[in-house]
Structure 1
Amino acid sequence: MKNKLSFISIFTLCIALSLTACGGKQSSNTDSKNTQTEAGSETSGKSDSRLDDLYQQENQLFADHADVWNKAFGMMNKSDADPNGNYADYLAGTVESNKDSFTDDELKTLNEDIETIRKIEEQIAELENKNKSSDDNKKDSSKASSVFSDFSGEDFDGNKVDDSLFSGNAVTVVNFWFTGCKPCVAELSKLNELNDAIKSMGGEVVGINTETFDGNKTAIKEAASVLESQGVKYRNLSIDSSSAAGKYASEIMAFPTTILVDRNGNIVGEPMLGGIDNKDNYDALMKQIQSVIDADSTNK
């Protein structure tokens, strides 16, 4: 079953890697669907297939109306989000609060898409509830803490990286992005600024570009060019798509997404959704970073 990450369960925005604009869910692959303790039964397999079909329907909506959704994504603010709320309601609220920024035709398109998404999400919720089991819940509860155990990857210069990346920092800020995502690119310079700011505090920013998985040389070259154009100096990594971290990334539904990892490789707090070039998001992230650093100092 394709599980969503924390608040992402109601914030499945921004583009899937298989699409060309920043606005949809990723279609899953064989590895990303294997989140159950054992291979699913025939029944659960059919359910997983149906879930993937529903995710793709949402993908297609965002792809068909990429320009207007891309515009809407840039207006989203994590501080306005209710983790326990309804996904379609959140989308509708964002559009309503920024309605003066859209034309009448754009509003019509957005509102029609939102109502379609509402119906799709109802079907997704029903299927996910049917798929729940005690084994799945145990898997989900331990998943976040095991994502970066036995971590490995390479930076864009081919230097190998392992889980000492995390043990050497009080906090590691991991930013998931991809080259074709405009909000992702827009925040890169701010992430570089953040990296400089937290170095003396025992922190580091690390980027994981999801198009560069499995050492994709073409994608690495393109991502490196974008990073250079934005003056980015912090490390960006290519990881194995079949690794725990790769599977975690394949289930991310909103880009950019930023998480905090402590020196033990545990994910701390909720994912930060949206760019930190938004001041509210930046301030919220800095508050979380300070909290992790304070906890690290206490535990020494």
Structure 2
Amino acid sequence: MKKKLNVVTALAVCAALSFTACGGSASASSSSAASSTPAVSEAASGDASAAIDDLYQQENQLFADHADAWNKLFGMMGKSESDSNGDYADFLAGTLEANKDSFTEEEIATLTADIESIRGIEAQIAALQSQVDTSSAADSTNAAQEASPFKNFSATDFDGNKVDDTLFSNNAVTVMNFWFTGCKPCVGELSKLNELNETLKAMGGEVVGVNTETFDGNESAIADAKKVLESQNAAYRNLSLNSDSEAGKYASGIMAFPTTILVDRNGNIVGEPLLGGIDIQENYDALMQQIQSVVDADNANQ
């Protein structure tokens, strides 16, 4: 029931305080609680969270104004078969309907009117919460983008060619697979990664391997890694990172292998890392679903 699980407790506290503490700044009647003007104006001013708090206060005021009827209804909630995880107004209405024989006609009329006011309030809360969630998601995305370890990217492939951040800008999605030569699950998925690379070419993407033993152009480690790749018929690009680069530090922090991430055209990590080999069908399906979402987003932005 979202925050409403606290309502019974709140009413008990209010009873002790003669209901003077629940109104806050919103001493609203049923009719004013249903009005959308205060919520919209506060949202427009960028204070959606404060508007949500105000709306919850309006609901609490309804409970306080008709405390006897509401306390009776709250006490019967365990008897209702309504879904408390669904629409809150529907939940309250369902509880009332299931126990209507226990209420007078006046109580039913009062509670029904309050429930309809709550329905309007809940609609406003949902709209405002969507704004808050969208803003929070945007802030999180911006923070993640600013912190991406693949900005100003620089590396060398196993043939000695320099690679920069055009690696990402030229691809709708870049699948980066972190592995090391002595990791059996890592080696076990190499041929599957090569197949995935061929699939991604048609989608505007690419698979890139990062062997964490080959940092700083370690020639011996690169030679060993190339032998393993050849034995698995894996011909996609593999990179050696500089250990002191941001990308190198990111790779050094990986504790589980193999780990696979997706990077978009702007060098930003998208979604959560995939742990484990994609030769496991469940992992492959999950990765392909992520890849498709990144490609779709890229197409939408073109």
TM-score range, shorter chain: 0.5 to 0.7
Q: CA deviation at 1:230?
A: 0.4
Matched, 1:149 2:139: no
Q: CA deviation at 1:270?
A: 0.2
Q: CA deviation at 1:215?
A: 0.5
Q: CA deviation at 1:198?
A: 1.1
Aligned to 1:278: 280
Q: CA deviation at 1:142?
A: 3.8
Q: Percent identity?
A: 73
CA distances 1:190-219 after superposition (whole Å, capped 9, x unpaired):
000000011010010000000000000000
Cα distance in 2 between the residues matched to 1:213 and 1:198: 26
Cα distance in 2 between the residues matched to 1:296 and 1:271: 19
**Equivalent AA in structure 2 for residue 250 of structure 1:** S
Q: CA deviation at 1:276?
A: 0.1
Cα distance in 2 between the residues matched to 1:233 and 1:215: 19
Which of the numbers 277, 283, 287 marks the counterpart of 2:289? Answer: 287
CA distances 1:217-249 after superposition (whole Å, capped 9, x unpaired):
000000000000000110000010110100011
Q: Aligned with 1:176: secondary structure?
A: strand
Which of the numbers 256, 260, 263 marks the counterpart of 1:261? Answer: 263
Q: CA deviation at 1:253?
A: 1.2
Cα distance in 2 between the residues matched to 1:282 and 1:174: 14
Aligned to 2:250: 248
Which of the numbers 274, 298, 301 marks the counterpart of 1:299? Answer: 301
CA distances 1:163-183 after superposition (whole Å, capped 9, x unpaired):
000000000000000000000
Q: Aligned with 2:279: secondary structure?
A: coil
Name the CA shift for 1:144/1:264 in 2 (closer, same or farther; >3 Å). closer
Structure 2 unaligned segments of length 5 or more: list them: 1-138
Q: CA deviation at 1:144?
A: 6.3
Cα distance in 2 between the residues matched to 1:253 and 1:144: 22
Cα distance in 2 between the residues matched to 1:142 and 1:235: 29
Which of the numbers 237, 240, 245 marks the counterpart of 1:238? Answer: 240
Which of the numbers 137, 157, 175 marks the counterpart of 2:177? Answer: 175
Q: CA deviation at 1:143?
A: 5.8
Aligned to 2:26: none
Cα distance in 1 between the residues matched to 2:247 and 2:145: 10
Aligned to 2:89: none
Matched, 1:189 2:191: yes
**Equivalent AA in structure 1 for residue 281 of structure 2:** K
Structure 1 unaligned segments of length 5 or more: list them: 1-137
Aligned to 1:213: 215
Runs of 4+ with >6 A deviation: none
Aligned to 2:229: 227
**Equivalent AA in structure 2 for residue 211 of structure 1:** E
Name the CA shift for 1:278/1:177 in 2 (closer, same or farther; >3 Å). same
**Equivalent AA in structure 1 for residue 235 of structure 2:** K
**Equivalent residues in 2 for 1:92-103 (5 A)?**
none
**Equivalent AA in structure 1 for residue 191 of structure 2:** S
**Equivalent AA in structure 1 for residue 160 of structure 2:** G
Which has more radius of gyration?
2
Cα distance in 2 between the residues matched to 1:277 and 1:196: 15
Cα distance in 1 between the residues matched to 2:158 and 2:145: 26
Q: CA RMSD in A?
A: 1.8
Cα distance in 1 between the residues matched to 2:264 and 2:217: 26
Name the CA shift for 1:180/1:149 in 2 (closer, same or farther; >3 Å). same
Give TM-score, length-normalised by structure 2. 0.52
Between 1 and 2, higher relative CO (CA 8 Å, sep ≥ 6) is seen in 1
Name the CA shift for 1:152/1:248 in 2 (closer, same or farther; >3 Å). same
